[in-house]
Each structure stands twice: as structure tokens, then as C-alpha cells.
Amino acid sequence: MSIVNRGLVPLSKMNGYVDDRLAFGLTLPEYVPTDQIGLNVSRLQQLTRLGGLGHFRVSSQAGDRTTYQAEITGMDASGSATAGMKVAKQEAALSSAQVDADKASSEAIDFSEYRWGAGHVIVNLTEMTDKIIGEGASLRNPRPWSKLLDKALRKGVSSAAEKQLMGDVSGWSKTWLGLLVVYSVWPQSNPHFTVGDFIAGVAMQDGICQLLPTLSMAFKGTSPKERRLSLVPAYQVDRLAVVEGMTRALKLIKPIGQHQAASSDDIF
């Protein structure tokens, strides 16, 4: 069974869901009204795909919590340390992200544009619960949970995408990026070199950088559909910029009413 990508899916129907692209195991306390909190599955899948993540997993755990410690501000007459009003705050993250890659498979793929990572976001339920209590909200209210879960998931997706797009870069991809940079700088020493020459040269070199991986992987029997399209070889900063912009502007989780939830026919 697969999810039809439309509507907000209640978390009560998402927990334990697994397919070839998404594994959702966000286990919330039983008092949380998960039927009133909705996940935009299509948007989540779109973001993870843009981020180079072929599979994405969401889970939760009882993690660290924010700590406060009074700082020493002086000494008394007896030489003992005195704590003043200044307090050091060490804030715990609402989520953490990691990207798991099959090293053998990655080494077998010459170009990083064809490498798809497996992202994993872990939501920190301890810190989330503390924040809701600290704000004086009810733990049975879906709105504070929706707000913090959305913040945690968006941050996690962004972090996982950065790790994949900027971290898993093959040697071949780095080489072609280096050649593109050299070609962009070297001809400027020519006094007859014009801006038009520069633009045309960079476009041609970038075209080669785009064409070579496709031809090379096609020769190995890999479909071009498996390639992540990007204007920049190696470090795909354009895709990362899109992910960053979308995760800042668009919500993934919202509180929902019964009339807003996707029906069971739409979900599975």
C-alpha cells in the first residue's frame, strides 16, 4: 500500500507506516491527540527528494533537556566561590539528523549526482514536553505539539539534506568541479577575453560536467532518472538553497480538524 500524496494525514494513521521511501515511527505519549495533528506527506517527500535522500525515516526518543547553571561571579571573604544572578543556558535540540550511506555502493558510483542517502531524523520528546509545560500549555492540546513537531521535523530535514548534498561528494565530481573553476579563472589573463567569452566558456564546461555523468552511468546500465539534476556539479548548493528556503517558509505539520484530514481512501 502506498500513500496518495495529498492532504494532511493524521499522525494517528502515520505511526508505523513504512514504504520504499518513507518510514514513520514517531511514537508520542498516549495523551497526545495524534488524530488532530496532520503531516503533509507530499511536501515531506518532495523535500527529502530535493535533498538527495532516497529514503527517509522519522523516529523519536527521550533525549537531552535544556539545562541551566548559575555562573560563579566572585569570591567571598573566606575564599569560597559565590554564584551570581548570571545563568548559563545549554539548550537541547528538538531533533537530530543523520544520513546513512552504504559505503560499498557509494564507492561503486563514480558521480555523487547518482548517490541517494538514507536520512534519519530523531525527535527529542523530552525537550519538547519540557517546552510545552514551560509555556503553561496543556499536554493534551494539539497546537503546541504541532508547532514543536513541525519545527523539529523541518530542522531535521534541512540538516539531513545538507549532510547529503554537501558531504557525500565523489572524487570524480570534485575533479570536474575543479576543472570548471580553473576554466572560469584562467582565460581572464587573456586581454582579449570578454564577458561573453567567459559566460559561453563556463556554460560549455558546465554542460560537459552535466553530460559526462549521464553517459558514464548509462554505460553502466543506470537510468538517467536516478540522477539528481543540479546546475552545480559536486556540491549541489542550488538544491540545498531550495530545501533551506522551503523548510523556512512552509510547514510540514499542522493542527487539523476532522474536516481537514485526508480520508482513509486518500491515505492508503
State how far the Cα of 232 lies from the Cα of 212, in Å rounded to an integer.
14
Least confident of 108-112, 152-156, 241-245, 258-262: 258-262
Q: Is the pLDDT of residue 85 over 90?
A: no
User: Residue 107 has what pLDDT?
Assistant: 47
Asked whether the predicted pLDDT for residue 267 surpasses 50, the reply is no
Neighbours of 20 (CB within 10 A): 8
In this prediction, residues 212-240 reach a mean pLDDT of: 68
d(C-alpha 260, C-alpha 13), whole Å: 14
In which band, very low, low, confident or very high, does the pLDDT at 80 lie, cut at 50, 70 and 90? low
User: Burial level of 166, CB count in 10 A (0-12/13-18/19+)?
Assistant: middle
Q: Which has more pLDDT, 7 or 23? A: 23
Least confident of 22-31, 123-132, 179-188: 179-188
Q: 39 pLDDT band (50/70/90 cuts)? A: very high
Count the Cβ atoms, other than its own, within 10 Å of residue 178.
12
Q: CA-to-CA distance for 118 and 123, rounded, in angstroms?
A: 17
Q: Are 243 and 47 in contact (CB under 8 A)?
A: yes
108 compared with 231, residue with greater pLDDT: 231
